[in-house]
Amino acid sequence: DVKVTQSSRYLVKRTGEKVFLECVQDMDHENMFWYRQDPGLGLRLIYFSYDVKMKEKGDIPEGYSVSREKKERFSLILESASTNQTSMYLCASSSSDFTGELFFGEGSRLTVL
Amino acid sequence: RKEVEQDPGPFNVPEGATVAFNCTYSNSASQSFFWYRQDCRKEPKLLMSVYSSGNEDGRFTAQLNRASQYISLLIRDSKLSDSATYLCVVGRDAGNMLTFGGGTRLMVKP
C-alpha cells in the first residue's frame, strides 16, 4: 500500500520557536509538495520539489523554507513560528507522469501559542 | 476573487437522494480538472478526473463546462458513506501544480 508519512500528527509550539515537519514517501515519486489547509481557504501550496535538492516556491512561501536532501524525504521548516502559522500541514507526492493524483499524508496539526 | 470557488455547504440530504455540487474556476487556461474527497480529519484523496466530454464512475458523474468555466459533480442514490467534503481541483498551466477549492461539505442522513 502506497504511503506518505508525516512525522508528527499534532504539535504545539511557542512563538519564535523553530519547527521541523518531516515527510517521507515510499513510492519513489519525483514530486513532493507542502500545503497548508485552513477553514474556508482550502489547501494552499507552500513549496514544492521536482527533484532532490530542488525546490520551488508555491503560493504562500513567506515564513517557510524546505529541504529535500533525499528523494523520499521533504521537510518543511518554520524558522520562527508565528501564531498565524497555526494550521493543518499536508505533505503530498506524485509521480513525474502526473495524472492528477496527489498522494497525501495524514497531516500535521500545528498550534503556535 | 478566488481561483477556484465552491459553495461550502453543508448540503444535508437523505439517503437515496441525488445531489449536485458546482465549482467555478477563474483561469481560462486551465487544462485539467478533478474532484477530490476528504473525510473528516483525514487526508484528501482523488475521487475522479473530469473530462471535457463528461465522465461517470458508478453513482458519480462529473461534467465540465469550459465556456462557463464551471465543473459539476453529481452523486446519485446517496449513501451514508458519501458524507465527506468534496474538493474541486483545477490544474494550472503545466506540470503538477493544482489549485484546490475550499470544499463542499456533504452530510447524508438516514
pLDDT tens figures, A104-113: 999 999 999 9
H helices then E strands: how many in chain A? 0, 11
Q: How confident is the model at residue B5 (pLDDT cuts 50, 70, 90)?
A: very high
Judged by a CB distance cut-off of 8 A, whether residue B9 touches chain A is no
Q: pLDDT by residue (tens digit) across B14-58?
A: 999 999 999 999 998 888 999 999 999 999 999 999 988 889 999
Quote the CA–CA distance of A16 and A37 in Å, as a whole number: 21
Nearest-Cα distance to chain A for B2, in Å, is 9
Judged by a CB distance cut-off of 8 A, whether residue A107 touches chain B is yes
CB-based contact B101 A102, cutoff 8 Å: no
Judged by a CB distance cut-off of 8 A, whether residue A48 touches chain B is yes
Give the residue from chain B lying closest to A39, CA to CA.
B102
Checking if the pLDDT of A82 tops 70, the result is: yes
Sign of CA dihedral B23, B2, A55, B87: negative
Residue B52: Cβ within 10 Å count: 10
Q: What is the mean pLDDT of residues A60-77?
A: 97
Quote the CA–CA distance of A41 and B45 in Å, as a whole number: 18
Q: How confident is the model at residue B93 (pLDDT cuts 50, 70, 90)?
A: low
Judged by a CB distance cut-off of 8 A, whether residue A101 touches chain B is yes
CB-based contact A42 B4, cutoff 8 Å: yes
Here the cell at position A74 is 521533504
Cβ-Cβ pairs closer than 8 A, A with B, add up to 47
Judged by a CB distance cut-off of 8 A, whether residue B27 touches chain A is no
Give the residue from chain B lying closest to A32, CA to CA.
B96
